[in-house]
Amino acid sequence: MDAYSKYLSNALNKYKIHVSSYHGNAGDELIIKATFKIIKNLDNNFINANCNEADIILIPGGNFSMWQIFYNKIYDYITNYNAKLIIGPSTFHGNFTDWRNLLINNTSRFEALFPRDKISHDNLLELNLYEVYIKQVCDSAFTLRSSNLVKSLKNISESKYNLVVLRNDHESLNLINTNDIKFRNKITRKFYRSLNKRIIKKRIKKLNIKDPLVKDVVHLNFSEFCDYIAKSKCIYTDRLHVTILGLMLNKKVYILKTNYDKISNALEGNISENEEKLLYFE
């Protein structure tokens, strides 16, 4: 049993737990499905407690430190509920939100934090959150390797197209170091995304892929997201959960750079030898 499962197992024996849901993309849904799989494996009779009755609110994980919508969700839990918080495997990086001060100023409200890469782990240790349990673990989605979901997708797997999935947001590789700029203004974001569209087109052209299918599939519903990945021949992407699902379905994955090494950091030490053979880096 890995450290994250072991911690949740102890928590399930002691506390009423509410597993948070949040509006994200299909990659976030992969995390949520994996979280419920972990919990059901630990306690098949688990009932998701109401927020008002819960002792613990579990945020399944992701990248709340770089997304204001997720930051706001955690702030809402701190402000409006009495439960302590556990943040599942996540990235803790950058200055896009004020996540450091949120943790420092509300240390007593956090039970445990689980960074999913070494840099995030080091960033948390720098905050001196002595009351909080901090442990580096792998992204929850990796626990779906032997799941019915992955088995069913392998059954429909094909090799139809070269799928290109590139993000257009402040995590993209771009000409601006957005780790040090707060892109909260709508006009600024609109200008940035317009600029980044041109960069994306140049990147795709430079890759020289024959007949690429270019689609940021994480913004589709979960079923469509899975279907596109399952039916791809190989995948070119700068998205972590497209990478993880692609590897679990034995697809060749070409990892393209983001504005920091999110994917390579999260994969380090967490993929099998066979999965490593399917990986290529820009």
Residue 7 has which token pair? 């911690």
pLDDT class of 182 with cuts at 50, 70, 90: low
Q: How distant, in Å, are the alpha carbons of 32, 53, 153, 264 from that of 28?
A: 6, 25, 18, 18
Predicted confidence band of residue 246 (pLDDT cuts 50, 70, 90): very high
Mean pLDDT, range 112-130, rounded to an integer: 97
The answer to whether 31 touches 60, Cβ cutoff 8 Å, is yes
For the chain, how long is the longest CA-to-CA vector? Answer: 55
Tell me the average pLDDT across 246-269.
92
Say how far apart CA 111 and CA 133 lie, in whole Å: 6
Task: Note the pLDDT tens digit of each residue in 85-99.
Answer: 999 999 999 888 899
Averaged pLDDT score across all residues of the chain: 91
Angle at 243 between CA 195 and CA 192, to 5 degrees: 10
Give the pLDDT of residue 64.
82
pLDDT of res. 201 = 79
How much is the pLDDT for 170? 76
Q: Is the pLDDT of residue 175 over 60?
A: no
Per-residue H/E/C for the chain: CCHHHHHHHHHHHHCCEEECCCCCCHHHHHHHHHHHHHHHHHCCCCCCCCCCCCCEEEECCECHHHCHHHHHHHHHHHHHCCCEEEEEEECCCCCCCCHHHHHHHCHHHEEEEEECCHHHHHHHHCCCCCCCEECCCCCHHHHHCCCHHHHHHHHCCCCCEEEEECCCCCCECCCCCHHHCCCCCHHHHHHHHHHHHHHHHHHHHHHCCCCEEECCHHHCCHHHHHHHHHCEEEEEECCHHHHHHHHHCCCEEEECCECCCHHHHHHCCCCCHHHHHCEEEC
pLDDT, tens only, 132-166: 999 999 999 999 999 999 999 999 999 999 999 99
